[in-house]
Amino acid sequence: MTPPTNHKTQPPGPRYLIPHLLSYFRQPLKCYQDLAIRHGQPFSVPFPLGGRMAVTGCPAHIGRIFKGGAGLYRAVDATAGVFYGENSLVSLEGEAYAHMRRLLMVPILRHPASAAGLMRDAALRAFADQAVAQRFGMLDKARAITLDVILGAVFGVLDERERLEFVEAIHGLQGSIGFFAVFVKALRRDFGPWSPWGRFVRARAKCYALIEARIAAADAAKDDADGSVLAHWVSLRDPLGGPAMTRPQIRDNLLTLLFAGHDSTAVALAWSMYWTHCEPGILITLLDELEGYAGTLDIDLLGDTPYLDAVCREALRMHPVAPGVARRLNTAMELGGFNLPAGDVVMACIDLASHDPAIYPDPHRFRPERYFERNYGHDEFLPFGGGERRCPGASLAFMETRVALATLVCKFRFKLMEKPSLKACWSHGIRRPETSVRMMLEGRS
């Protein structure tokens, strides 16, 4: 006999897509918080690419989603593959995914000390020519820093001409990814350099050409000594002694790292700088803790820095780059008393968990001290997602934010030229501050 079940099928929630999207894009967090109050969690919303999406910010449900299980999920849609290439980690599933992830995880932070040195130097370089008493956009500076770092980590040392070529090509590709080409499949056709897709394809070809030239050079050098991701991938061998990764695999995954690894970290750094200079007490406490590092900027003296770490964590919590992480179900799943059917989408909502007053009291206050009052689990603090697809660059990104922030506050004096309640907005697929975070350089230490 089948045991009795009181599982309901769909979690409740709004029925129609357009009114829901209008409300969501006006105020994403408030929209989801209102739905959570009205319907409980998980609630469900119509999903733009078909079916419904069950949304939850409840840690127990998030833990269940991240636990996953063999074959439980597949990609939400195929868009990522279209942009990053079919060999990219983000396009793969199942065993192919697990294999690529193993190859990719090893090299991202192979030499933490030299990576930290790279980050410190990139932060200093970004302000080398900055005039005192002139305004600048912190987000633009942060982008320059993180692009420098990811280029260094991925390719090793580049000469200035190569570096500029990459920077230009990556900016070109970023600027060519239009909203409609992402969401409207019919527009993904090349009607020439002025059509949205044509622009994108040409910009991507430029990046490919630069990356392929670097792969060829690394292959010829056969030298893994520079510690770069590329040199490592080229040196990997399969059990028969052949290359473990094909050139298209290397190319697509290098492009993935360059993209996924720079804008998101820049946003985290810009928010950390914003809050550090918004509330004077934070900067004072931070400088107190960094006294040893400030004199020499010796990376070895940046070891145990609980307050610095807490500032970086709090910036990631207050302003998640992604509102949540979504998975499409291959098979039905039980979540919070509901039976979610195969084909639907389930979302661990970073926004809801990060602003739940039961987890983070006074959630709209920037309060690094909260991390000394209790520990937060992976299902409560999740700016990098979780489970088998958790961000592979999380350690690199966190290290980069803390090294760059520490270096900037120790070496320079800044003034924030922004209003005290800066908001976030969407741009190029991630959430970032609504302005470039205007600041002024007041002096050098």
Q: Confirm or reject binding of residue 100 to ligand HEM (CB under 6 A).
A: no
Q: Does 256 bind ligand HEM (CB under 6 A)?
A: yes
392 binds ligand HEM (CB under 6 A): yes
Q: Which stretch binds ligand HEM (CB under 6 A): 162-170, 289-297, 382-390, 412-420?
A: 382-390
**Spatial CB neighbours of 207, under 8 Å, sequence gap ≥ 6:** 169, 170, 172, 173, 255, 258
State which residue, 79 or 197, has the beta carbon closest to ligand HEM.
79
- Closest contact distance (angstroms) between CB of 18 and ligand HEM is 27
Grouping H, G, I as helix, E, B as strand and the rest as coil, residue 139 is helix
Among 73, 384, 412, 414, binds ligand HEM (CB under 6 A): 384
Q: CA 205, CA 95: separation in Å to the nearest integer?
A: 29
Instruction: Give the count of beta carbons closer than 10 Å to the beta carbon of residue 82.
Output: 16
390 binds ligand HEM (CB under 6 A): yes
Report the residue number, 42 or 393, with the smaller CB distance to ligand HEM: 393
Q: Which stretch binds ligand HEM (CB under 6 A): 155-163, 264-272, 297-305, 408-416?
A: 264-272
* Residues 213-252, mask of contacts with ligand HEM (x by CB under 6 A): ----------------------------------------
128-159 burial by CB neighbour count: b if 16+ within 10 A, else e?
eeeeeeeebbbbebbbbbbbbbbbbbbbbebe
* 3-state SS, residue 236: coil
Q: Identify whether the C-beta of residue 348 lies closer than 8 Å to the C-beta of residue 386.
A: yes
The residue within the footprint of ligand HEM, chosen from 397, 410, 416, 441 (CB under 6 A), is 397
57 binds ligand HEM (CB under 6 A): no
> Could you tell me if 441 and 408 are in contact, meaning their C-beta atoms sit under 8 angstroms apart?
no
Q: Is 348 helix (H, G, I), strand (E, B) or coil?
A: strand
Under rule CB under 6 A, residue 108 binds ligand HEM:
yes
Name the minimum Å distance from CB 260 to ligand HEM: 4
**79 forms part of the interface with ligand HEM (CB under 6 A):** no
Which 304-363 residues touch ligand HEM, going by CB under 6 A?
A: 321-322, 325
With contact defined as beta carbons under 8 Å apart, do 312 and 401 qualify?
A: yes
Reported as type and span, the H/E element at residue 229 is helix 229-235
Applying CB under 6 A, the site for ligand HEM has a residue count of: 25
Nearer to ligand HEM, 256 or 436 (CB): 256
14 binds ligand HEM (CB under 6 A): no
Give CA–CA dist 423/136, Å, rounded: 18
Q: Which stretch binds ligand HEM (CB under 6 A): 22-30, 39-47, 173-181, 378-386?
A: 378-386
User: Kind and range of the H or E element at 274?
Assistant: helix 263-278
